[in-house]
């Protein structure tokens, strides 16, 4: 995986703009649609767990687990965007991730924020 594979975010000119801020410069909120979220749960892979256990003995990054978490966050964000779009929003404000252990068998990743309709200020 190259450095571009470890990041997140959106490509240029998305139809649903997702930001971590409470407002978007040059835009005004014309409607608050409400909370939206994207959720996914990934089970642990026995091979990666064994590899992680061995790696923890000598230290260093757990690249397999990093890759899995990046893919999981990307999927959760895509689901959030799909939900916002389906509800008529073109923006999501106060975007965040929440990551928790799910019943000791996997990792739950929830992407959440407030869906809004944005209009450019003139």
Q: What is the phi/psi pair of residue 77, to 5°? A: -65, -40
pLDDT at residue 51 tops 70: no
Is the pTM here over 0.85, yes or no? no
CA distance 13 to 26: 15
pLDDT (0 to 100) of residue 27: 97
pLDDT (0 to 100) of residue 55: 52
Neighbouring C-alpha atoms within 13 Å toward the C-beta of 21: 6
CA distance 22 to 7: 22
């Amino acid at each position: 995986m190259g450095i571009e594979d470890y990041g997140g975010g959106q490509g240029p000119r998305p139809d649903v703009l997702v930001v971590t801020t409470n407002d978007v410069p040059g835009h005004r909120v014309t409607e608050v649609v409400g909370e939206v979220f994207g959720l996914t749960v990934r089970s642990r892979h026995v091979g990666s767990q064994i590899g992680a256990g061995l790696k923890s003995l000598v230290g260093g990054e757990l690249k397999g687990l990093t890759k899995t978490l990046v893919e999981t966050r990307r999927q959760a964000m895509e689901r959030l965007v799909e939900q916002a779009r389906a509800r008529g929003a073109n923006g999501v404000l106060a975007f965040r991730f929440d990551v928790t252990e799910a019943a000791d068998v996997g990792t739950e990743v929830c992407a959440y924020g407030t869906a809004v309709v944005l209009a450019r200020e003139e």
